[in-house]
Amino acid sequence: MGFTLMITRAAYGVYSNDNTCGRTYDGDCLAETSLEVMQGLCNGESSCSVEAANSVFGDPCRGTAKYLTATWTCEIVEPDVDTSSDGLDWNIFSMAQQAALPVSFDGEERYFVSVPCSTDVWFKLFLFGEDSQNSHVELFSKTAGNIYCHDAGSRSWWGGAKTDFNIDQAMQCEDGDTRIILIVEQTSDFIAIKNRGTTLYSQTFGADDGDCGKATTRVTTQVWTDDVELFLAVLNVPIIEVEIQEDIWCEYQDSYLYTYSSGTSSYDDLASAKAACLERDDCGGITQEPYNDNRYTLRVGPELYEGVSPTDEISWVTCEAELLKRNDKEELNDTEELKDKEELKDKEELKDKIVKRTNRSKFSV
């Protein structure tokens, strides 16, 4: 029994005019390989860590800070037919024997019910919260049932409202044709009843659905069909977080920085060089040397000579540091421009004074 990731959307780069990483870009800058790469690395895994880097996705726009976003779903591996070896703790219940289980979830709630394949069974699952019943799921047969929400709608049915439904798909028996495994899934937003990967019924919760969707702390059973044994198991499916590491480095083609950093300054791989550079006070960036077995060297810098390397060197500097330097340059340029304007204004005022004096002299003569 387990669960795996399925990546549904992914984007590496930066959207038009988004300054999340401190610098805007005119137009979308997104790697076309984003979804393909993420699905290749994460689909079918129980956890996934992906570095947001050009080395993984390619570089859709040089010299621009980029980030990675992704959305995903969790896919459950359904239980085997042999309830003694599928890893679930099955609890027997019947008309004469109720099952009552305390439960605790930190993600999606899943309830597994094993019923006979050969006959219809009428049963109900009661889902309780901390103080009272939240809801119930009831099946009258293999083709009909209802969902009850406490404190919902007009509250005209036992203090809430129920939704009757029909099941059009035929339920599939497990191998051996002796049992049917039904799975009831619930989150704060929806509830669904499934069988062998097929959704038999689903219902989305809204503002008028009362206590449906609230966290369950206890589940109990009731059966109206005599002389049958059913089994109940509960599975807590935790919320899986995909660790996405933000790329803090900006890459510059045909660029280099001056002067090697102190200590060990040459590395075989870029990841080691990045980690070492961040630990040093005198490291302003990294330059790859094509003429030295493509080794990655730590450089003091901090000035980046961009686009002028005669040997096709590639350099990396932290995007934040480069942004600060560019902002400093812009502020310096603004200061110099303001100074030039003030000097020009002084010259114009001096010229006006000279002209006025010349005119007064002519008038006196």
| Tens-digit pLDDT profile for residues 210-248 | 999 899 999 999 999 998 999 999 986 555 555 555 567
Q: What is the pLDDT of residue 355?
A: 53
Do residues 76 and 237 make contact, with C-beta atoms less than 8 angstroms apart?
yes
Cα torsion angle, 247, 253, 259, 264, sign: positive
Cα separation, 56 vs 38, in Å, equals 10
**pLDDT band at residue 82, thresholds of 50, 70 and 90?**
very low
β-pairing, 100-102 vs 218-223, is antiparallel
End-to-end CA distance of the chain: 110
Q: Are 160 and 150 in contact (CB under 8 A)?
A: yes
d(CA 255, CA 305): 5
Averaged over 139-159, what is the pLDDT? 95
pTM strictly above 0.75:
no
Q: How confident is the model at residue 334 (pLDDT cuts 50, 70, 90)?
A: low
* Percent of the chain that is helix, strand, coil (3-state, to 5): 20, 40, 40
Cβ-contact 100, 231 below 8 angstroms: no
SS3 294: coil
d(CA 175, CA 125): 25
Handedness of CA 314, 319, 320, 325 (dihedral sign): positive
Between 85-99, 129-143, 156-170, 177-191, the lowest mean confidence (pLDDT) is in 85-99
pLDDT value, residue 13: 85
What does the alpha-carbon distance between residue 102 and residue 218 come to, in Å, rounded to a whole number? 4
Cα 50 to Cα 87: distance, rounded to the nearest angstrom: 30
Residues ≥6 apart with Cβ < 8 Å to 236: 103, 104, 105, 106, 107, 109, 110
